[in-house]
Amino acid sequence: MSKRPRTLPLLVLLCLVFPLSAQTPPVDGPRTYVPADFAQFAPRTALDMLNRVPGFGIKEENQERGLGEASGNVLINGQRISAKSNDVVTELSRIPAQNVERIEIVDAATLDVPGLSGQVANVIVRSTGIGGQWAYRPEFRSYYTDPLFTRFEVSVSGTKGPVQYTLGLDNRGNRSGAGGPTWVYNPAGELIEARDEKWRGNADQPRLSGRFVIDGPGSSKGNVNLLYGRLYFDYLETGTRTSVSGVEREREVRVDEHGQNYEVAGDYEFGLGPGRIKFIGVGRGSRFPNETNVITRFSDDSPVEADRFTQVGDERELIARSEYRWTSNGAEWQMSAEGAFNSLDNISRLFEVREDGQLIEVDLPGGIANVEEDRYEVMGSYGRPLSSSVTMKLSAGGEYSQLAQVGAGGTTRTFYRPKGELSAAWKVSPRTDFNIKLARRIGQLNFFDFLASVDLQDDQERAANPDLVPEQSWDLDLEGVRNLGTLGSTTLRLYARLIDDIIDYIPIGETGQAPGNLDHATVYGIESRSTLNLDRYGWTGARLDVEAQLQESAVEDPLTGKTRDISNSLLRWGSIALRHDVPNSAWAWGAGASGQYNALNYRLTEVGRQWEGPVWGNVYLEHKDVHGLTVRAGINNLFAADSVWDRTVYEGRRTGAVSYIEERDRQIGPIFTFSVRGKF
């Protein structure tokens, strides 16, 4: 396996030293940004504005079980979005920039929203009448892919009486592809097979959504979120495989996935007694049937080989939650209760061809089952200032859950788990903030992990495992934020996780494998974000954004008993982006580079690393007023990042003899992007 590339992250970390050591004028008061602070960027949406806040990075809500407490770092008018499918990035992209009054960057511990940590952006929005905006973002790649003409966004916002509304229609279309050689070697390093393959994937995800904010009567507030989406995904891989025996094979892989998802969510809040009570309800579901067909044709008289795998899974989730909060003697109190029901009805089937050319069904134990979970949670939180510069928040409670599986060796189990967190914010100086958070968390289960599955494309199988339990962890976060005034901002975060019941591949029977729980694992790392405005150094209108993350992990391998990285976990990541808004003009240009490197991916029968890199680069040119439109053209993948997969496959499990070694290097090529954005 190749060595870990370290050059980009080290360069990024060196870039961070400069802003930290720069001499800056004193800054008083909170970090508050008004529309005038973003004028040079000519933002169209609230998302454009928030992306330009120095040193701030958007963290979306974790897709946890139920709703739970808040886990992102963005609020709109002091509230989190009471929905799961309609993410905050999408919502911000539909808020016109002219509706944003200000953006406040505050310490989470000072807010009355339990679960938040570190720096939080509170976007204050007021509707000023009916208005709309749109964007069209085609994309073209040099090799292997079809052009993308269907990616767009359009939204309308307005006010009708006490109701503010936003209606949106978008298509998150994508076109991807790569092609090139793969070499297969025997354990002695001798070439046994050469492959020349290419693939392309076409995805379209049209979505229709609506958000309605109800003001009143009196001090009451309400929100309704609606979403309906479709998925159309088509994948085709073709290639030639030639073994040392000289037998040539033509192989074709087709994947078809389509379906729909929906969500209806709402909340209503009003005054009750000494405080305020909020009721929240969410109902959502999805159905995405998929089918994979693999056909192999030989150059000699050998019969055609064909396999088919189909899967139909119906997922549903219902959530009911209530929150009551009040203030007493300078302290913020909240009690919450939540009930959630999750289910998956799944049918997976496997077929293979007979000698007469007909497909027959093959037994797939554990492929058909129903998985359900009932979960109930009660939490209480307490927060107050300890001094003029220190604020703390404590939340504690627990959950009861019942996991049931019908079919695939199903069983019913019940669990009682404590959870909670302690956080504090310390304003060290007018321009330096420090945040700390210790939390006990319960992870999210993927119900598909309970069931048997087959990956025909990469010849991988997974058995059923009805004994999965959610991960539990102690999470510690330390974050420091330095406001550099007109120079910018820098944020440094240290974190560690002690994980129980981490999910990895474990042995099932004598030869099988499936996602299962290992006893313990650890994760620790450092993350940094910095924004440096270059005006003070003579480059007016230029800005540099630098981000980096270094992470290590450890878990005991279930086969060898040795300590290794968590499978496919992040090791190194870094990015650097430069933007220059040319003074006294509507022109802007930018360039950037990024790279990510993960740990090896461990299965019981193989080990390898699949990634795209080593470094991605981009450059763009933008005009902010072409007859009232913002037009941008760009080129991505400037440094010729490839799709790489190196893996070692064993005859049995990884403790046995090597069967073969596979090295893949597929070309992606340049990606040409174009966007036009306007309003109406």
Per residue in 332-376, pLDDT (tens digit) is: 999 999 999 999 999 999 999 877 778 899 999 888 989 999 999
- pLDDT computed for residue 409 by the predictor: 65
- pLDDT computed for residue 17 by the predictor: 42
Look at residues 576, 612, 579 and name the one whose alpha carbon lies nearest to residue 593: 576
- pLDDT computed for residue 562 by the predictor: 94
Calculate ∠ Cα 619-621-624, nearest 5°.
Answer: 145
**Positive or negative torsion for Cα 33, 34, 36, 41:** positive
- Answer yes or no: is 590 within a domain: yes
Look at residues 58, 61, 134, 69 and name the one whose alpha carbon lies nearest to residue 96: 134
Whole-angstrom Cα distance, residue 114 to residue 127? 27
Q: Are 288 and 231 in contact (CB under 8 A)?
A: yes
Neighbours of 407 (CB within 10 A): 18
Q: How confident is the model at residue 238 (pLDDT cuts 50, 70, 90)?
A: very high
Q: Which carries the bigger pLDDT value, residue 9 or residue 212?
A: 212
> Which H or E run contains 235?
strand 221-243
Which residues make beta-bridge pairs with 473? 441, 499
Mean pLDDT value across residues 653-662: 93
Whole-angstrom Cα distance, residue 622 to residue 634? 9
- pLDDT computed for residue 115 by the predictor: 67
CA gyration radius, the chain: 27
Q: How confident is the model at residue 19 (pLDDT cuts 50, 70, 90)?
A: very low
Q: How confident is the model at residue 135 (pLDDT cuts 50, 70, 90)?
A: very high
User: Cβ contacts of residue 245 below 8 Å, gap of 6+?
Assistant: none
Which segment of 107-121, 155-169, 416-430, 540-554 scores lowest on mean pLDDT? 107-121
Mean pLDDT value across residues 235-254: 92
Q: How confident is the model at residue 26 (pLDDT cuts 50, 70, 90)?
A: very low
Q: Are 172 and 207 in contact (CB under 8 A)?
A: yes
Per residue in 582-600, pLDDT (tens digit) is: 999 999 999 999 999 999 9
Split into its structural domains, the chain has a count of 1
**For residue 378, what are the CA distances in angstroms to 65, 68, 163?**
14, 10, 32
- pLDDT computed for residue 346 by the predictor: 94
- pLDDT computed for residue 518 by the predictor: 94
- Answer yes or no: is 226 within a domain: no
Per residue in 143-167, pLDDT (tens digit) is: 999 999 999 999 998 888 889 899 9
Query: Rounded to 10 degrees, what is the CA torsion of 516, 513, 463, 571?
Result: 60
Q: How confident is the model at residue 604 (pLDDT cuts 50, 70, 90)?
A: very high
- What proportions of the chain, in percent to the nearest 5, are helix, strand and coil? 5, 65, 30
Look at residues 563, 569, 528 and name the one whose alpha carbon lies nearest to residue 549: 528
Look at residues 125, 105, 120 and name the one whose alpha carbon lies nearest to residue 72: 120
3-state class (DSSP) for residue 450: helix
Residue 161 CB-half CA count within 13 A? 4
The phi and psi torsions of 392 (rounded to 5 degrees) equal: -125, 160
Which residues make beta-bridge pairs with 663? 183, 646
Which segment of 31-45, 322-336, 511-525 scores lowest on mean pLDDT? 31-45
- Scanning the structure block, which residue is given the tokens 């929100």? 223
Look at residues 32, 52, 25, 27 and name the one whose alpha carbon lies nearest to residue 40: 52
Whole-angstrom Cα distance, residue 332 to residue 559? 50
- Answer yes or no: is 611 within a domain: yes
3-state class (DSSP) for residue 174: strand
The identity of residue 195, as a single letter, is: R
> Which H or E run contains 10?
helix 7-21
What are the CB-based long-range contacts (under 8 Å, 24+) for 209-212?
Answer: 209/86, 209/90, 209/167, 209/168, 209/169, 210/165, 210/166, 210/167, 210/168, 211/86, 211/91, 211/94, 211/165, 211/166, 212/163, 212/164, 212/165
**For residue 377, what are the CA distances in angstroms to 55, 339, 374, 394?**
35, 6, 10, 16
- Scanning the structure block, which residue is given the tokens 């490197």? 597
Q: Are 215 and 221 in contact (CB under 8 A)?
A: yes
Residue 401 CB-half CA count within 13 A? 23
Cα 422 to its chain centre, rounded Å, is: 25
- Answer yes or no: is 137 within a domain: no
- pLDDT computed for residue 7 by the predictor: 42
Cα 656 to its chain centre, rounded Å, is: 36
Q: Domain range for residue 544?
A: 1-31+482-489+500-507+522-552+574-680
Per residue in 503-514, pLDDT (tens digit) is: 999 998 888 899
If 0-12 CB within 10 Å is exposed, 13-18 middle and 19+ buried, where does residue 133 land?
A: buried
- pLDDT computed for residue 408 by the predictor: 59
**For residue 553, what are the CA distances in angstroms to 116, 415, 452, 499, 565?**
25, 27, 28, 11, 5
Which segment of 114-123, 128-137, 602-611 scores lowest on mean pLDDT? 114-123
Q: How many helices (H) and strands (E) does the chain have?
A: 3, 38
Q: Are 202 and 233 in contact (CB under 8 A)?
A: yes
Whole-angstrom Cα distance, residue 180 to residue 458? 16
Whole-angstrom Cα distance, residue 146 to residue 463? 36
Neighbours of 273 (CB within 10 A): 8
Would you say residue 199 has pLDDT above 50? Answer: yes
- Answer yes or no: is 134 within a domain: no
Whole-angstrom Cα distance, residue 151 to residue 167? 17
- Answer yes or no: is 534 within a domain: yes
Would you say residue 213 has pLDDT above 60? Answer: yes
Look at residues 478, 479, 446 and name the one whose alpha carbon lies nearest to residue 465: 446
The identity of residue 88, as a single letter, is: V
Per residue in 463-490, pLDDT (tens digit) is: 888 888 999 999 999 999 888 888 888 9
Q: Are 655 and 633 in contact (CB under 8 A)?
A: no
Q: Mean pLDDT for the chain?
A: 88
DSSP 322-371: EEEEEEETTEEEEEEEEEEEEEEEEEEEEEEE-TTS-EEEE--TT-EEEE
- pLDDT computed for residue 333 by the predictor: 93
- Answer yes or no: is 172 within a domain: no
**For residue 449, what are the CA distances in angstroms to 82, 141, 229, 363, 558?**
27, 34, 24, 19, 18
Would you say residue 33 has pLDDT above 60? Answer: yes
**For residue 281, what are the CA distances in angstroms to 323, 330, 403?**
12, 30, 22
Would you say residue 118 has pLDDT above 90? Answer: no
Would you say residue 605 has pLDDT above 90? Answer: yes
Would you say residue 29 has pLDDT above 50? Answer: no
The identity of residue 399, as a single letter, is: E
Q: Which carries the bigger pLDDT value, residue 21 or residue 322?
A: 322
* Structure-token pair, residue 115: 């679960």
In 454-556, where does DSSP find H-type helix? none
Calculate ∠ Cα 599-603-609, nearest 5°.
Answer: 35
Strands 119-125 vs 74-76: parallel, antiparallel or unpaired: parallel
- Answer yes or no: is 592 within a domain: yes
What is the percent of the chain with per-residue pLDDT over 70, rounded to a whole number? Answer: 93
Whole-angstrom Cα distance, residue 335 to residue 434? 27
